[in-house]
Amino acid sequence: MNQIQNNLHLYELVLLILGSILFVMVSGAFIYLIIKQRDFKILWAFFGLSLIMIGFPAVKSFEIAGFKADLDRSQKRYAKNPLDSVAKKEVEELTEKLEPRAKTNQDKTRIVSSKLILNKTDEAIKEADNVIGNSNVNKIVESLKLKPTAVSESNKAIVEAYKLKKVAEAQQEAIKKKDTAGLNKKLNAVLSDKTTLLKLQPKELVKVNTTQQIKLKDPKILFSRKQLTPVKLVHPDSLLKNSNR
């Protein structure tokens, strides 16, 4: 019964309870009418309705229990072979189905496992924290060492979530170190390029656009901005001499 409750939403539980009550009432009415030898045809509709109200949540519960088992198998397959795209897709789809129905610590730990093997470390740590809460993990571990059978499945799931969280944190740290190594490599490359640049002559570093910047080396030479052709400066006295000729 606990498994059925854990697998169902609240409205499904209400539907199951109401269906059960209706079934008992209809069964009692059947017995009463049969004893009194009265017509009970009208009760068939209510009897069918009660079966539907009971059957839908029950079938849903078994269906959910089935895909939990499928998720466990898919997780193991994908963990063994990360290149298995089919297993990866199954893990993603089944985890998505389980997330809105995850009530127990066991189901939440399944989600932590999925997030971890899918390399979603941030989400895995967040889900693990939800499972752990304010629980004293060290105390639970000590109880497991002394008397494992006395520890509930819920507390065992807390310990499992704690272990998965530590793995996720270690994975995050490894990724950060890898990124830092990559960044250091890029910085070293930039520094190397800077050293090479410093060895170059200033004229090799700076390229002057002659259409915007004009440098007059000879005061008797002008440069046209458009044509960039040299023009000689002529003294006014020489112009007068030429005109007199």
CA dist 125 to 89, 116, 152, 166, Å? 21, 8, 23, 8
Given this model, what pLDDT does residue 198 score? 43
Mean pLDDT, rounded, for 80-85: 89
Looking at residue 7, its pLDDT comes to 64
The confidence score (pLDDT) of residue 36 equals 82
Among the ranges given (45-49, 79-83, 144-148), the one the predictor scored with the smallest mean pLDDT: 144-148
237 domain residue, yes or no: no
Query: Which ranges in the chain belong to alpha helices (H)?
Result: 2-7, 10-35, 43-80, 85-98, 105-117, 121-132, 137-146, 153-199, 202-205, 236-244
Residues 22 and 79 reside in one and the same domain: yes
Residue 188 located in a structural domain: yes
Residues 37 and 107 occupy one common structural domain? no
Percentage of the chain beyond pLDDT 70 is 69
Whether residue 24 has pLDDT greater than 90: yes
Answer with the residue of higher pLDDT: 95 or 36. 95
Statement to judge: residues 112 and 78 lie in one domain: no
Rounded mean pLDDT, 190-217: 43
107 and 79 within one domain: no
Residues 122 and 50 in one domain: no
Total domains present in the chain: 2
Distance CA 53, CA 18 (A): 7
For the segment 188-200, what is each residue's pLDDT rounded down to a tens digit?
555 455 444 444 4
pLDDT digits (tens, 9 = 90+) for 217-239: 444 444 444 444 444 444 445 44
Task: Examine residue 113 and state whether it is found in any structural domain, yes or no.
Answer: yes
| pTM strictly above 0.85 | no
- Please provide the average confidence, as pLDDT, over all residues in the chain: 75
Domain with 56 in it: 1-84
- The residues pairing with 231 across neighbouring beta strands, listed in sequence order, are 222
Q: Could you identify the residue written with the tokens 């967040």?
A: 126
- Name which of 64, 27, 66 is nearest 46 in CA terms: 27
Residue 52 resides in a domain: yes
